[in-house]
Structure formats: C-alpha cells, structure tokens
Amino acid sequence: MPAAPPKPRKIGSRACDACKIRKVKCTEIPPCRRCSTIGIECTFNKGQATRGPRSLRAKTWQQIRDAQQQQHHHQEKPPENAAATRNVSADGSPHSSTGREPSMNNSTTPVIAVEWLVLRLCIYRLRLFPVWPIVAVEEVIASLQRDAEDQEMYALATAIGAATMAQLKLDRSRDCGINDAVTAHVLEAECQRSRVLLDSQPANLNKLRTSFFLHIFHENQQPGGTNVAV
C-alpha cells in the first residue's frame, strides 16, 4: 500500500504576503486558496508586527522630557497664584498648594498643574496619536500656557490625560515616568467638573473631542457601556 503523501506544512497563524496586502482571509497553508485561484506565488516573507511595551522606553521618555523642556523654554513665568502651583494630595485627591480646598462645584481655577497635563499630552502624542490622530497637542499645550484657566482646553487636556492613562494602564505602571499622584480617575473627575462650567456654551469640535476621550476612559473601566454621560 503506497504511503500517504505528506500534508502541506502549515506556516503559522498568519496570512501570506498577498492576502495581508489585499486584507483578505488566508487559509495559511502554502499555496493558499486565494493565491492559487488568481495564479500568483504564495509567500510568507513579511514578519508579524509586534506590539510595543506597556512601559515607556528610555528613548520615548527622553523625547517627552525634550518636548517638555522646549515648552517650558517658551512659557512665561506664571504669577504667584497661577494654576501651575496647584497640587494633589498623596491619595490622589486634588488640593491647592496654599492648603485651601478648591470648590469642586463652581471654581473656575484649574486644580491640576499645567506641567502635569503636558506630561500626559506628550505621552498621548508619542504613543496614541497614531491610533487617534484627532488632537494637535502642541496647540492644546500652547493654549493652556497662555491661559491656564481656559476651561475648554483644560477639559480637553484632562480628558486626553484620563484616556491615555487608562488605555496604557499607566496608573499601575512602575516605569512610565509619572511620579505625581494624578490618576486617570482624578483627571476624569476634573474634566467632568470643567464640563459643567461649559454647559451654557454651544457645542463645538473641542467638546466633541472631549466626549470622545471620556468615552475611551469609561470603556477601559467598563467595557461595553457606561451610565455616565460623556
């Protein structure tokens, strides 16, 4: 009895070069069915792309520092009572550096320091802008440095920060370069507070962007939906 012919060797759980370029399903056994149908050579030369690390590489962290230094170089010296002197307590709850608790209901003074928002905006630009290319963070940073009490830009910046930290799990990362106590939840709460102050203003593109990033934050907390209005 003749021996059965050997089965074709399976390359692996990945599409061939042609199917990958055409973005169609591949049978993954050379030659695959689609390549045979159209009469082309079936090859598996392209390697699979690997995901980046959760923590920030040294090169990425250096890029963030360089971007911050460049922004600080152009930043004017803030007044003594500017929002840049704001801080948060060790448990992540916001308070001012003067020791007075800010009014979380009607205060128009930002609680989170601009430089801390800049750090998170830089991380978004380096890690997530290729995925969500909808905000030019340089413009947001410049607006906040011109007027730290710009509620519209402050709400957008805190929403971006909350979404970035939630998506990259930076609250739980030991190697993300973030040493302050501002968590994603603190940023989201500040964003919601600022949005209340903007309720009387008409909808615009920045409000839509803010809602988008809040959606990303809440999707990371409760996949599939949330009862919080964003």
Q: Are residues 137 and 213 located together in one domain of the fold?
A: yes
* CATH code at position 15: 4.10.240
pLDDT at 127 over 50: yes
Same domain, 122 and 213: yes
Rounded CA separation 162/170 (Å): 10
CB atoms near residue 107 (< 10 Å) = 14
- Residue 23, domain member (yes or no): yes
pLDDT-based confidence at residue 85 (cuts at 50, 70, 90):
very low
Domain assignment present for residue 94? The answer is no
Give the mean model confidence (pLDDT) for residues 43-62. Answer: 65
Dist CA 31 CA 43 (whole Å):
8
Q: Is residue 154 located within the same domain as residue 199?
A: yes
19 with 68, same domain?
no
pLDDT grade for 209, boundaries at 50, 70 and 90: very high
Burial class (CB in 10 A: 0-12, 13-18, 19+), 16: buried
Domain extent for 21: 8-46
Specify whether the CB–CB gap between 130 and 99 falls below 8 A: no
User: Do 26 and 67 lie in a common domain?
Assistant: no
How many structural domains comprise the chain? 2
Q: Are residues 198 and 113 in the same domain?
A: yes
Query: Tens digits of per-residue pLDDT, 182-201?
Result: 899 999 999 999 899 888 88
- 95 is a domain residue: no
